[in-house]
Amino acid sequence: MNFGIEKAFILAGGLGTRLRPITLELSKLILPVQGKPCLQWNIELVKKFGVKDISLAVGFKHEQIEEKFKDGKALDVQLHYHIEEEYMGTAGALKIAEEHFKNEKKFIGMNGDELKDIDFGAMSKVFDKNDAVACLALATVAYTKAGGLVKLEGEQITEFSEKPPDEEEGFKLIHAGAYILSPKIFDYIPKGQKMSIEKEVFPKLAEEDKLYGVDMGERQFLQTDTFERYEHAIKEWKGFTKSELDA
């Protein structure tokens, strides 16, 4: 069951600067969590929803990722690699893969360096009902100035702010690193331009009433971008919630 979604896009090109010196030698995407590379958990998440055509935006140490996962057959998926010759930002990396997604009705996008238990079925329903350009997975976390803060009214995200510097710490609703997108998203991303989907595209969609979200509630969302978070993820990750898809 894929809810009309055939393809997924995963960002897998980060530098991992906050995990140095380890990431001077290794891509952060292949650092293990409970016996599997972080990226593999994300591949298995979209596969759980019937999506096996997966594009990886890779850059820094992409050779390690390609050697580890090859064409994806070992995981019963088909992997496509879109290489950033220079860092283009999260939106710029997506633009590189435009040809692969421009004829889809909708597709999954997400970060590859987090552990998350996402219900793409619930998100797809909200996406379809509202004719959205983007529908984001949302999670409530102890906010420490490292995530996209959202204001949610019903199913509509009325404001999206990526890491606002003056925001007080506390439990906040943030973007959980996963989204369903319409190909209309490419209209917001100029070709060949470095751009952040969180800082420049999602705020624009919120202004135009085209951005929606689904609160994932008690489902896990664990970041791995610092040593403290990585250690926490290794200890606390419980895997994916069982559902009718596992029958």
| Residue whose structure tokens are 């290489």 | 83
Among candidate residues 163, 172, 194, 199, the one labeled active-site is 163
Strand partners, 149: 161, 174
Q: CA-to-CA distance for 195 and 43, rounded, in angstroms?
A: 24
Contacts (Cβ under 8 Å, ≥6 apart) of 102: 183, 186
Active site residue 163: yes
Question: What residues are labeled active site?
Answer: 163
